[in-house]
Structure 1
Amino acid sequence: MSTRPALSAEAQAQLDRELIVAAKANNVPLASELIQRGGNVNAKDAIQDSAFLYAGAEGFNEVLRLTLAAGADVASTNRYGGTALIPASEHGHVETVQILVDAGVPVNHVNNLGWTAMQEAILLNSGGPRQQEVVRLLLAAGADPNIRDAEGRTALQNAERLGFAEIAAMLRGRG
């Protein structure tokens, strides 16, 4: 095993910034190279994005897998106090949600807005097939549908209020 010389703090910070930029561009080869050179997948930029958090939020699954293999902190949070699973759920990134659940991202984490991944999957999208599948995956992973949002509503109450009958039916069986 070869040992690379330690980078100066400035050089490490530059490498970490380049990794975040590569992740945000979904540039898999460059992200891989930067990780191999010692880029820290948990380093955050000025708006609290890391390569891991951004890849998870945007459904950039190849970059996400690279960051997980390089030791991403699955409990790390973004500027909203949310894990990568919360925006992935909101956007209906079904495969990404499965990757994050399998990696051990906490399914019942509540962000600064008072929402879990399940609440965001319901409140901030259309209730369509991808959102239904996300809710199914979250329930299967042990997500608690009875956690109330900042307005005091459960996931079921929000699904019913928004007219998402398929999601409401799933939640009725679990609540």
Structure 2
Amino acid sequence: MLGAATYASAAGDALNQQLLAAARSSDEAAVRAALDEGAAVDSRNRIGDTALITASKKGLAGMARTLVEHGANVRQADVQGVTPLMAASYGGYEEIVRLLLAHGADPAATDRVGKTAMEYAAGQGHTAVVKLLLDTGMDVNRLYKNDLTALMWAAGYDRADTVKLLLARGADRTLRDNRGLTAGDIAKQTGSSQAAALLSGAAATP
């Protein structure tokens, strides 16, 4: 027969699993029910995802708000160092990005390869999110692994609007990665014609 403490632990684990499953199923009502029954809001699955990280990946703004209102840790990262803010930025979920920033998410946090939410957003061409992150004071020319910048990341995927924003905010198109390539070189190498045009000659001036 289970002792009282063991029973309470087992019941708590079941509720935590219920919370994580509800988040994966995009079921906001079930998430709220699990929390109301006592699930730990920052429970994690085997890869370190919390319900808030899952909601941020899926773009579920209502669920994210519910979790934050129940005290979810907006800075909790998964095993790869990916935070809710990075997940929302990668998806371009502006409402969630605003929510997380308003509740203390760290825009300068880095994952295991040194990327921040800004690089995640820039690579996907989510210009509005990049602007929000730059508005927090992020260095537009910060370097991460292999001396890459957000401008290089955006240029390599031909995210023209994002390239324009980064240039307008002071991105240095002369910086080189550890291979000696500038953002313009990367754009040409990847066939990113719009970015290459923006980054070449007079066209690079926003």
**Normalised TM-score (structure 1):** 0.80
**Match of 1:65?**
98
Distance in 1 of aligned mates of 2:182 and 2:115:
18
**Match of 2:130?**
97
Distance in 2 of aligned mates of 1:121 and 1:26:
22
Structure 2: gaps of 5 or more residues: 1-38
Q: 2:75 aligns with which of 42, 58, 75?
A: 42
Matches within 5 A, 1:1-175: 11=40, 13-14=42-43, 17-123=50-156, 125=157, 127=158, 131-171=159-199, 172-173=201-202, 174=204
Distance in 2 of aligned mates of 1:164 and 1:54:
25
Distance in 1 of aligned mates of 2:55 and 2:192:
37
Structure 1: gaps of 5 or more residues: 1-9
Cα deviation digits, residues 34-63 of structure 1 (max 9, x gap): 111211111111121111111112211111
Cα distance, 1:85 vs structure 2: 1.1
Cα distance, 1:167 vs structure 2: 2.8
Cα-Cα RMSD: 2.3
Identity %: 36
Structure with the larger RCO, 1 or 2 (CA within 8 Å, 6+ apart): 1
**Max radius of gyration: which structure?**
2
Q: Read off the aligned partner of 2:118 and give its amino acid letter.
A: L
Whether contact under 8 Å (1:108, 1:116) holds in the other structure is yes
How many residue pairs get matched? 161
Cα distance, 1:102 vs structure 2: 2.1
Cα distance, 1:104 vs structure 2: 2.5
Distance in 2 of aligned mates of 1:13 and 1:166:
43
Whether contact under 8 Å (1:56, 1:100) holds in the other structure is no
Which aligned segments of 4 or more residues in structure 1 are displaced greater than 3 angstroms? 10-13, 160-166
